[in-house]
Structure 1
Amino acid sequence: MNHTFKGTPDSRQSDDAAIPTSRFRPRYRALTDDEKALHDALKDKASELEALIEKVKAGRYRALALTSLEESIMWTVKELTS
């Protein structure tokens, strides 16, 4: 399998810009270099915030905060790749 960020689409990516929208998206459109950079920046900032949150004592609220962070990045990346 090719690495998706090396510029070579694997079987999950398509160069077709008119991929039909699907809730479960079995195939993704290839990202531009700017979109790849934005994707990486989002994940890097999320990792920074995760490290800060983990400095708070363990408990239910910290767990909820981490879950919310994961969810927000998931939705943002889903929008970016749509």
Structure 2
Amino acid sequence: MSAPEQQVASEGDSRTFNNAVRHQYRVLSDEEKAQMVRIKDLGAEFLTAIDGLGASREYSLAKTKVEEAVMWAVKGLTA
């Protein structure tokens, strides 16, 4: 990677910068932005709790499903 990656806040209006798939976004309301941050915070908290349980295939699958749930919830919110 030659140029440093630019970090874009997921709730920021410039979030299309590093997205090669969705080319247009609607501007989110402040309430929607707060909801998105809450969904992601809850997901991160759940992932941390699972990490504390140890390592196993089942925990790995659970973490994947949490990530998927967060993705779909955010997609639903931002559609």
In structure 2, how many angstroms separate the alpha carbons of the residues matched to 1:44 and 1:53?
14
Question: Counting strand residues as a fraction of each chain, which structure ranks higher?
Answer: 1
How many pairs does the alignment contain?
69
Alignment partners' CA distance in 1, 2:64 and 2:70? 10
Of residues 39, 44, 51 in structure 2, which corresponds to 1:42? 39
1:9-54 CA-partner distances (Å, limit 9, x unpaired): 43839xxxxxxxxxx5311101100000000111111111111110
For structure 2, the residue ranges without an aligned partner over 5 or more in a row are 1-5
Distance in structure 1 (CA, Å) of the matches to 2:15 and 2:66: 29
CA RMSD, 1 decimal = 2.3
For structure 1, list consecutive stretches of 5 or more residues without a partner in the other structure.
14-23
The percentage of counterpart residues that share the same residue type is 36
Runs of 4+ in 1 over 4 A off after TM superposition: 3-6
TM-score, normalised with respect to structure 2: 0.74
> 2:23 matched to 1:26?
yes
